[in-house]
Amino acid sequence: MKKLRKFRKDFLLAAIIIAAVLFIVQGTKFQSSEEYYRTHIDDITAETPTVTVSIICTNILKNYDSLPKELRSEKYVPKSGVILAPTKVRLREGDSVFDILCRVTREKQIQLDYNDASVGSYNSAYIKGINFLYEYTCGPLSGWTYTVNDLHPDYGCSQYILADGDDVKWQYTCDLGRDVGFTFEEQGEKN
């Protein structure tokens, strides 16, 4: 009994060492719930709603001659025509196509230039350029278009509110949308 008491302090020290080592190994990043929420807002888990975004400029490859010389570089136009391969992005409540594009380009460090129609708070942004490829850069009918689940909406990208599982494609057109599958003439005739 006396012997056990003698070792009690040793046990305590050993326990402290083990506990401390365990903590160090396990990680010491303690956060309040608010902090945790703030830094994990865009984490993707099985339950979180997501959308898929991709940015494609294959049409420029097909019209390479129309592109100004200074842009004829892999840096701006990748050989694959894919600026951003389909990427899953956490969808926040009320996110528009524009919100998601802003977030994903910032995160992936892709240049983005747009007009945000904040004047009069109309909330309809216009994408002028992605990855330094601008409207009118590759011919008079060129610019950025978007589809959601392969459909071409007829309104601004900041007015399109996304739903879980939506597939957003940003495509560069050199022919006012026809080369990305937009067939407004047929629609016009139907109407």
Partner 1 sequence: MKRKISLILIITVIFSLSSLRAYAFDASWEADRLIADRKTKLGYTDLLSESILDKAGTTESDWYAIALSRHGAKDDYDAYRAMLKEYVTQCYQTPQKLHAVKATEWHRISLAALACGGDPTDFGGINLIADGTYNRGLTVSLGQQGINGWIWALITLDSMNFQIPEGAFNTRDDIIAQILARQLPDGGFALTGSVSDPDMTSMALIALAPYYNSENIYTLENEQKSVHLVIDEALLNLSAIQGEDGSYSSWGVYTAESTAQVIQALCSLGIDPLTDTRFIKNGSTTIDALEAFKISDGAYAHSKGSSENSMATQQALCALVALDLFQHNERAFYDFRPEMSEETKTAISDLTAKISSISSYQLDELMQEYENIPQSERRYVYNYRALSDAVKLSRGEQIEVPSLTAQPKASVHTPNTISPEAEFPTTEIKYKVSKKTDEADENIQITEAEYIFSEDDMNTFRNLPEKLTTKEYPTVVSLCDKIETCADFEGKEDISEKLHNDKKIIQSIQKEIDDINELVSKSLYPFDSISLKDRDTVLEIVERINDLSEYDRTKINYPEDIEKALTQVNSLYRAQNITIALIILTAAAAIALIMRIIKRRKAKAQE
Residues that bind partner 1 (CB under 8 A): 6, 9-10, 13-14, 16-17, 20-21, 23-24, 27-31, 35, 38-39, 41-42, 68, 106-109, 115, 117-124, 134, 136-137, 140-141, 154-156, 159, 175-176, 178, 184-188, 190-191
**DSSP assignment string, 3-44:** HHHHHHHHHHHHHHHHHHHHHHHH------HHHHHHHTTT--
* Minimum gap (Å) between residue 78 Cβ and partner 1: 19
The Cα–Cα gap between 121 and 83 comes to: 31
Q: Which amino acid is at 14?
A: A
Separation between Cα atoms, residue 148 and residue 129, nearest integer Å: 19
Q: Is 129:113 a contact under the CB 8 Å cutoff?
A: yes
Cβ(54)–Cβ(85) under 8 Å?
yes
Quote the least distance from Cβ 60 to partner 1, whole Å.
15
When the beta carbons of 163 and 165 are compared against partner 1, the nearer one is 163
- DSSP letter at 96 equals B
Contact 159, 124 (CB under 8 A): yes
Q: How far is the CB of 136 from partner 1 (least distance, A)?
A: 4
Structure tokens at 112: 């983005």
Query: In the bound complex, what is the minimum distance in angstroms from residue 134's beta carbon to partner 1?
Result: 8
Judged by CB, which is closer to partner 1: 108, or 165? 108
Least Å from the CB of residue 63 to partner 1: 14
The Cα 70–Cα 106 span in angstroms is 24
Shortest distance (Å) from residue 34 CB to partner 1: 9
